[in-house]
Structure 1
Amino acid sequence: MDVLVWIQNWFEQNCNGDWEHLYGIKIETVDNPGWSVEINLSDTYLEKKRFNSIEVNTEEDDWFFCIVRDGVFTGAGGVKNLSEILNIFKQWASDNEETR
């Protein structure tokens, strides 16, 4: 499944009348240039799941990192790394789905 379709479905599954008003997902551009992703995990099945931080620096414009800190999945990367960041979240979320 395409990662964008998957993240839309994940968002929809977590919308319960409250979560989407208090938390949610932010995808923004940054000026270096690149991407910033924040996915608030509060009140989701991922809230207390362990995430091993990832950092990849291939080239000056091909880099990304992903961490979970204070209940928020945070990813940032180069201009062509958005799909990698979202796929890392997708893989982690899918791996932990059975342990809800």
Structure 2
Amino acid sequence: MNESEQLLGWLQDWYAAQCNDDWEHEWGVKIATLDNPGWTVTIDLEETDLEEHTYPRQDVNRSTHDWVWAWTSEKIFHARCGPANLTEALALFRAWAISNAP
């Protein structure tokens, strides 16, 4: 299994662990495309073990199509990234979530 598959498996497990017949009706994980081009990731932290933790804004700008920005605000983990940086953005969330796990 390659790194991307492991990362996606971890995200699926994290999401499933939040689902309690209530959380998934209000909050969730959203991945969409940007028109510049790139990706947007929004992960709701409300009512999770991460809701009181912050991720200071991190902007990595390597080139027009190679970049990733990540931060938390209002109990949401946000990431925006270039078209080939989705795995990197999700890996930032995983590393942060694991480091703040109870």
Q: What's the TM-score, normalizing by structure 1?
A: 0.95
What's the counterpart of residue 14 of structure 2?
10
What's the counterpart of residue 87 of structure 2?
83
What's the counterpart of residue 96 of structure 1?
100
Paired with 1:42 and 1:33, the residues of 2 have a C-alpha distance of 29
Aligned structure 1 segments of 4 or more residues deviating by more than 6 angstroms: none
What's the counterpart of residue 30 of structure 1?
34
Q: Give the CA deviation at 1:81.
A: 0.5
Q: Give the CA deviation at 1:51.
A: 1.4
Amino acid at match of 1:64: V
Amino acid at match of 1:4: L
Q: Deviations over 1:44-80 (max 9, x none)?
A: 0000012122110001110110010111000001000
Once the two structures are overlaid, the 10-residue window that deviates more, 46-55 or 69-78, is: 46-55
**Which sections of structure 2, spanning at least 5 residues, go unmatched?**
none
**Given that residues 65 and 82 in structure 2 are in contact (C-alpha distance below 8 angstroms), is that contact kept between their aligned partners in structure 1?**
yes
Kindly indicate whether residue 62 of structure 2 is the aligned counterpart of residue 47 of structure 1. Answer: no
RMSD across aligned positions (CA): 0.9
Q: Give the CA deviation at 1:9.
A: 0.3
Amino acid at match of 1:11: Y
Paired with 1:71 and 1:50, the residues of 2 have a C-alpha distance of 8
Q: Give the CA deviation at 1:83.
A: 0.4
Paired with 1:82 and 1:61, the residues of 2 have a C-alpha distance of 12
**Which sections of structure 1, spanning at least 5 residues, go unmatched?**
none
Aligned residues: 98
